[in-house]
Amino acid sequence: MSIFLALGKMSKITVIRKLCEAYVFFFRGTPLLMQLYFIWFGLPMISPVFTIQSQFFAAWLAFSLNSAAYCTEIIRAALESIPKGQYEAAKALGLSYGQTMRLIIIPQSIRQLIPPIGNEFIMVLKDASIVSIIALSDLTKVTRSIQSSTSSSMVYIPAMIIYLIITAIFTYIFKRLEIRHSRY
């Protein structure tokens, strides 16, 4: 979704560009928590047709829509970082816009994409703790449940360590990808 939105933001067709800009503006400009509340509590008030039965699906939808907006800007910036000469060379070779993007521009932009996409992925992992507000069981909800039954705040330490281990693993994976695709 982010790739299409990024290409839409770069489009010369005004309507497409403005729609993509509006999407990104809305989802980056409103808090993820409010988006989650709206999808879970607000949509059913608009119409029962929009009722989402699965807490997991509601959380997935909110995170996907929000993260797509952030990744759109990351992808757009990476695509625009490729020198204009690459586009001109592809045009001189007779490649279409789609071929140019698929064969030349996108493969070159991957190098610039890895660090910020890795960062966004880790932010989403940590933000996942807010799903407990719609009663979806996650590490945060289980930790709060244990804390309320034991009256000990020390249960938050193992939870933080678990989050730290998970983010450390993904940080390592993205660092390896970055090294693998490094220019130097």
Domain residue spans of the chain: 2-180
Query: Residue 183 pLDDT more than 90?
Result: no
Question: Within a 10 A sphere around the Cβ of 51, how many other Cβ atoms?
Answer: 12
pLDDT in tens, 8-33: 999 999 999 999 999 999 999 999 98
Which of 163, 182, 30, 44 has its CA nearest to residue 113? 182
Is 2-180 in CATH node 1.10.3720.10? yes
| Residue 137 predicted with pLDDT over 70 | no
12, amino acid identity: K
Distance CA 70, CA 28 (A): 7
Over the stretch 41-64, which tens digit does the pLDDT of each residue have? 899 998 888 888 888 898 899 999
Write out the two tokens for 9. 């933001």
The answer to whether 27 touches 69, Cβ cutoff 8 Å, is yes
Q: Is the pLDDT of residue 162 over 90?
A: no
Across 140-165, average pLDDT: 81
Report DSSP letters for 86-142, one per residue.
HHHHHHHTT--HHHIIIIIIHHHHHHHHHHHHHHHHHHHHHHGGGGGGGT---HHHH
Whole-number percent of the chain with pLDDT over 90: 47
Q: Is the pTM of this model over 0.85?
A: no
Distances in Å between the Cα of 121 and the Cα atoms of 50, 75, 90, 99 are: 28, 14, 32, 28
Q: Give the pLDDT score at 136.
A: 62
Share of the chain above pLDDT 70, in %: 95
